[in-house]
Structure 1
């Protein structure tokens, strides 16, 4: 995913919001701005604080009718980086406790790769609308079966992934991995208590394919499916090898900016921005 990938997807509303906030004198030259990724990147990089301040005074409905979800999350992730640059630690929630971890500089460096930041913004945007599908799958010669699945249901995605041929599995590998990261990052409160440890703290082996997963389960599955996505030929075609390598190797670190956005920026807005999961 090259830098231009995000900017080619920006809507007219995104560009207008950006220019009105950062450089109103260019409001009559929106097409020129949209055609120049360097100008857009410069505005985002230098004036993310202004963009963020404007966002926090806008209601949820207005936000998502004025700008695209992808642009919204790009701004929020950049603001998270800006704030974490002034901090030394992030917070991890374990067994009901808030534990400081001195890795803020690692998170900032991680999102310094803008291809990763843009990927995460697009990933978050994909969860603002959840869909269910019916797909015919060949079980054996002459026998087809219709599978119905939701792209927010890990178990049905895994079942369907196993039923389709290898060429068709890339989208499922990617979605399953993204879903694991999304839940741990944006809705950690939905994750089951880690009952997979004995009183002595030793890890107890538990099956992964169930509804009540622990954080360790989501992380294990997320890493595994990013690795599978990386090994698929479509990863190279879509220029996602570098992103998948980063997410697979630094899955825990990738959760941190999402946790920050969830807790500091969207705590009382998640229910409307991600209605399908929030109402589940």
Structure 2
């Protein structure tokens, strides 16, 4: 099935839903990680070094709910939601634009909406963090957040001043890992009902780096083989 979808003949993608293509890729990653000793890590833009943590990543993918989570996450970004919302300022109402791929704007929205709606926004903030760090790590590292944006993200994550100080100058991928896990946990804590899917979110929160590393592997090994037709660059 993998060769039919990701082989040399691009016809394999015709008529295949994005979710199915991503699920095939995630299952392929599970099979590959069962026999390799190391997986490439990205310490900086366009840099790769081997890290011998394949057994840890394999353990993450042994859970079928984790595999489903990653495939659904990728599929959720095929069509990115964007638009505008209104905020009250000292000078009256002002329209603000937002995009699901802009964590700063989403964080601003999370601060302004009623508490009842925040679990969903926190969940999406975690998704965006994982997607950017996992699928577009070079973009995330090259276009790091400025000091003001970083401060807003740290504040939205509910971190103490001491915790914020330690992360204010952290590398972008490390920052996204910490914030993404934190936002997933906030979504779980604030949700009025703990569903099975939300329980998986809580598990991923504790193993955010493993999930990110698996998405790096899936992107480098499979999605780039077909030109990743489902995703445009985050800044486009």
The normalised TM-score by structure 1 is: 0.67
Residue-by-residue CA offset, 1:223-272 (whole Å, 9 max, x unaligned): 11111111122561x42343122211111111122111111112243452
Q: CA deviation at 1:116?
A: 1.4
**Map of 1:109 onto structure 2:** 59
CA distance in 1, matches of 2:28, 2:113: 40
1:133 shift after superposition: 2.2
**2:60 counterpart SS class:** helix
Aligned positions, number: 213
TM-score by length of 2: 0.79
Structure showing greater radius of gyration is 1
Q: Distance in 2 between matches of 1:168 and 1:119?
A: 22
Per the alignment, residue 48 of structure 1 pairs with none
What corresponds to 1:99 in structure 2? 49
Deviations 1:163-188 (A, max 9, x none): 00111112211111111111111111
Q: Distance in 2 between matches of 1:97 and 1:67?
A: 32
2:95 and 2:222 map into 1 onto residues whose CA distance is 41
Describe the superposition over 1:143-176 as per-residue Cα deviations: whole angstroms up to 9, x where unpaired.
8654331111111100011100111112211111
SS class of match (1:152): coil
1:59 is aligned to 2:10: yes
Partners of 1:205 and 1:193 lie apart in 2 by 21
State whether residues 173 and 226 of structure 1, in contact with CA within 8 Å, keep that contact through their aligned partners in structure 2.
yes
Name the Cα RMSD after superposition.
2.9
The residue aligned with 1:187 is 136
Cα distance in 2, alignment partners of residues 231 and 149 from structure 1: 25
Seen in structure 2, the aligned counterparts of structure 1 residues 241 and 272 have a Cα distance that, compared at 3 Å, is closer
The answer on 1:178 being equivalent to 2:127 is yes
- Structure 1 unmatched runs, 5+: 1-50, 196-203
Match of 1:169 in 2: 118
Partner SS, residue 134 of structure 1: strand
The separation in 1 between residues aligned to 2:132 and 2:119, in whole angstroms, is 20
Distance 1:164 1:114 in 2: 34
Question: Where does structure 2 lack aligned partners over 5 or more consecutive residues?
Answer: 145-164
Aligned residues of 2:6 and 2:226 also touching (Cα < 8 A): no
Pairwise CA distance, 1:81: 0.5
Partner residue of 1:88?
37
Question: Residues of 2 paired with 1:125 and 1:71: CA distance?
Answer: 9
Cα pair 1:130 1:276 within 8 Å, conserved = no
Q: Which moved more, 1:78-87 or 1:124-133?
A: 124-133
Which of residues 209, 230, 233 is equivalent to 1:273? 230
Report the equivalent of 1:226.
Answer: 184
Contact 2:6 2:225 in 1 (8 A): no
Aligned to 1:40: none
264-273 or 250-259, which moves further after superposition? 264-273
Q: Which structure has the higher relative contact order (CA within 8 Å, separation 6+)?
A: 2
C-alpha displacement at 1:193, in angstroms? 5.8
Aligned mate of 1:76, from 25, 36, 55: 25
**Is the Cα–Cα contact under 8 Å of residues 176 and 222 in structure 1 kept in the other structure?**
yes
